[in-house]
Amino acid sequence: MSEAGKPALRAKELAVFLLFGGLAAVTNLLVGWQLYARGFFPHLPYWCATAIAATSGLFVNFGLNYAFNFKYRDRSVLQQFSTFCIVSLIGVGITSALSNGILSILNTYAGPAFHLGGVAVRSVFAAHFGAVGLTVLYSFPAHKCMSFNMGIRAQLQHVYAQISERT
C-alpha cells in the first residue's frame, strides 16, 4: 500500500473499530445493567459487575475486529487473542477504576440519580457509560499496535532497539 493510502486505511480502521467497539460497549452496558441494576445477583459488588460486563464486551470486540477489520495475519488467531486479552485486561481495569471514580463524583454532587434532559439517570449507569467511553482512548491505539500487530514483546523489542540506536 502506498504511503498516501495509509491515513485512509487508518481512518477506516478507526471508524470500524469504533463501530465494533460501540457494539461491544452496548454488550458491556447491557450485561452490566443485568448484573447491577436488575437484581439477578444482588450481592455482586458493583466493581465486579462492571468487570464482568467489560469482559463480555471483550469477546464481541475481538471477534468482530479480527474477522472484519484488522488484516494482520503474521501471528495466529490464538496469539492475537492472547495479546488482545492482555491489552483488554488493562482496559477492564481502566473501565472498572474509572466507573468507580466517576460514581464517587456523581454520588457526591448528584446523588444516586439525576435528571438529564428530563430523563432520570441512575448514577451507577452514568458512571459505567462514561468509563466505557473514556476507555476507547486507550483501546484503539493499544490494539492496533499490539493485538492486531506483532504483539507486546516484539513491540517492546522494537522500541528498545530504537532507543539503543540513539545512545
- What's the pLDDT tens digit per position in 12-27? 998 999 999 889 989 9
- Packing angle, helices 152-166 and 77-109, rounded to 10: 90
Amino acid letter, 137: L
Span 86-107, average pLDDT: 94
- Distance from chain centroid for Cα 58: 7
Let me know: does 29 contact 132? Beta carbons within 8 Å.
yes
pLDDT category, 54, cuts 50, 70, 90? confident
Length reported for the chain: 167
Average pLDDT score over residue span 62-80: 94
For residue 65, count CB atoms less than 10 angstroms from its CB and return exposed for 0-12, middle for 13-18, buried for 19 or more: buried
Helices marked H in 33-76: 46-68
Q: In this predicted model, what pLDDT tens digit does every residue of 84-94 receive, in sequence order?
A: 999 988 988 99
